[in-house]
Amino acid sequence: MSYQYDERVDGPLATHDKATVVAQLQALIPDLPLLHEQEDLRPFECDGLAAYRATPMMVALPDKVEQVEALLKFANAHKIPVVARGAGTGLSGGALPLDKGILLVMARFNRILEVDPEACVARVQPGVRNLAISQAAAPHGLYYAPDPSSQIACSIGGNVAENAGGVHCLKYGLTVNNILKLEILTIDGERITLGSDALDAPGFDLLALFTGSEGMLGIVTEVTVKLLTKPQSAKVLLASFDDVEKAGAAVAQIIGAGVIPGGLEMMDNLAIRAAEDFIHAGYPVDAEAILLCEVDGVESDVREDVACVEALLRAAGATDIRLAKDEAERQRFWAGRKNAFPAVGRISPDYYCMDGTIPRRELPRVLKGIEDLSKEYGLQVANVFHAGDGNMHPLILFDANAPGETERAEAIGARILELCVAVGGSITGEHGVGREKINQMCAQFNSDELTFFHALKAAFDPQGLLNPGKNVPTLHRCAEFGSMHVHHGALPFPELERF
């Protein structure tokens, strides 16, 4: 689907003559690689949300902070929008280009500047891959905890922009909980340090404000991350259930017992079968749901926790429980889960990945709601989720070539997210808002709250040049979106009335 920045609802953008801008930038920053030919721009048309595509006016590939600084000052002076991009693995279209804007690719900032095993921190450039940090820290017995499924490819700068999570964030937190300090450049080229090497910094918490701001407040040029000591031991249990709700109840039991698993993941039958067919992880294809529960720590704790979790799973009605017998099986159990998205990609021409977060107690109610929506819209939905922290990833299966299916997939996706909001949850857990969920932000926040967001945005970027049209909708967009709802004559959350 071609992505159109909508100037009518997202605000006007200045138009520039591409050849002139290219010539000016080349004169200003001669050592800055700049792509502007149509065929060179194609690889940058989309990020991991491949359903939306747009061709950027040009792509800049800096590897020096001075180049970025000069580019931002130039863009600011000429009112040219700038969209930052890391590895381009994002799933919400946060790095979708603008045809009137510069795509600022930070991937070449890929140096690990320092690993300090005593302070348990690493200082890295934003283009460093998530997994590369753990690899660099490994000789010291340390690692970087957040592990998005894309960790082999995604960059730490993108992780900061999206406040990325992963299967271990229940225990170890999101990106915001695992970074200490950021060096950033603002749109007017100022260099600012957010946070500090110490535990807490005085003044307003700009580090947290910036993390997850999706490239709208500035450009990250350096990240100081916390490193953790590698757990001595990690064991994973695979439990089968004949009923999704029983699996959901088991999650509550485990958390309630005070065990904090390193990971606690749930998959439903459709997701199990897709993953098993692809990875041969040894999943029970007849189960209605499985739970993967990992406990980590020192040997003796892990033994005790495994026994405790096993008893709880049994009491919750698990029909089968298996402890990965060795590290190879443990890796295989996780590989099935981590590859669930591409696995679903094999059984459906297209799929659309949701990222709602809900209070854990609402799990059965929301699963039922998704099932009903699935029937209403005639589209299959596979459920894969970080059950422990209530972060759901419903995968909507559709065929973009079948007339109307893309629109139906978008519509059911929106309904699912609105359902998450209605039960007290939120429209994103770890993938961000980006382009994808911008309309649902109107359901999540009222206009007073959005006005604050705009004022904060204006404090950093008064001309609105950094990633416009993403993350935070204009009030105009919400008015349009709201009136669409009225036009359809439906209450936003009819599915809740049944409960």
Map residues 239-278 to x or -, x wherever contact with a copy of itself holds by CB under 8 A. -------------x--xxxx--------------------
197 binds a copy of itself (CB under 8 A): yes
Instruction: Give residue 475's region: left, alpha or beta (phi > 0; psi -120 to 50).
Output: alpha
The residue assigned the tokens 């406990």 is: 295
How many residues form the binding site for a copy of itself (CB under 8 A)?
85
Q: Using CB under 8 A, which of 99, 116, 288, 410 touches a copy of itself?
A: 116
With CB under 8 A as the contact rule, the residue among 151, 211, 339, 383 that binds a copy of itself is 211
Report 32-61 residues binding a copy of itself (CB under 8 A): none
For residue 160, give both structure tokens: 């900061």
Work out which of 428, 439, 467, 474 binds a copy of itself, going by CB under 8 A: 428
Considering only residues 147 through 186, tell me which ones interact with a copy of itself, judged by CB under 8 A: 163, 165, 169, 173-174, 176-177
Residue type (1 letter), 336:
G
Nearer to a copy of itself, 190 or 407 (CB): 190
d(Cα 7, Cα 63) in Å, to the nearest integer? 32
> Is residue 492 within the footprint of a copy of itself (CB under 8 A)?
no
Shortest Cβ distance from residue 34 to a copy of itself (Å)? Answer: 28
Question: Do 170 and 264 contact (CB within 8 A), yes or no?
Answer: yes
For a copy of itself, the closer CB: 374 or 426 = 426
Contact 368, 374 (CB under 8 A): no
Among 134, 150, 339, 426, binds a copy of itself (CB under 8 A): 426
Candidates 28-36, 97-105, 225-233, 311-319 — which segment interacts with a copy of itself by CB under 8 A? 225-233
* 359 binds a copy of itself, rule: CB under 8 A: yes
3-state secondary structure of 282: coil
CA distance 143 to 132: 10
Q: Which is nearer to a copy of itself, 389 or 405 (CB)?
A: 389
Quick one: which segment of 50-58, 191-199, 261-269, 399-407 binds a copy of itself (CB under 8 A)?
191-199
Residue 458: exposed, middle, or buried by beta-carbon count in 10 A (0-12, 13-18, 19+)?
A: exposed
**Where in 278-297 is the site for a copy of itself (CB under 8 A)?**
297
Give me the DSSP letters along 410-437: HHHHHHHHHHHHHTT-BS-SSS--TTTT
List, in order, residues 6 or more apart from 125 with CB less than 8 Å away.
Answer: 109, 110, 111, 112, 113, 157, 221, 222, 223
Binder among 37, 39, 118, 326 for a copy of itself (CB under 8 A): 118
Using the rule CB under 8 A, is 200 a contact of a copy of itself?
yes
Question: Is 193 one of the binding residues for a copy of itself (CB under 8 A)?
Answer: yes
Q: Which segments of 112-219 does DSSP mark as H helices, in order?
A: 130-137, 156-162, 169-172, 206-210
Considering beta carbons, is residue 105 or 466 the nearer one to a copy of itself?
466
| CB of 249 or CB of 323, closer to a copy of itself | 249
Q: What is the DSSP pairing of strand 102-105 with strand 82-85?
A: parallel
Exactly one of 265, 294, 296, 305 binds a copy of itself (CB under 8 A); that residue is 305
Q: DSSP per residue over 81-123, as a string?
A: -EEEESSS--SS-TT---TTSEEEE-TT---EEEEETTTTEEE
Question: Is residue 489 near a copy of itself by the rule CB under 8 A?
Answer: no
User: In this structure, are residues 353 and 431 in contact, taking their beta carbons and an 8 Å threshold?
Assistant: yes
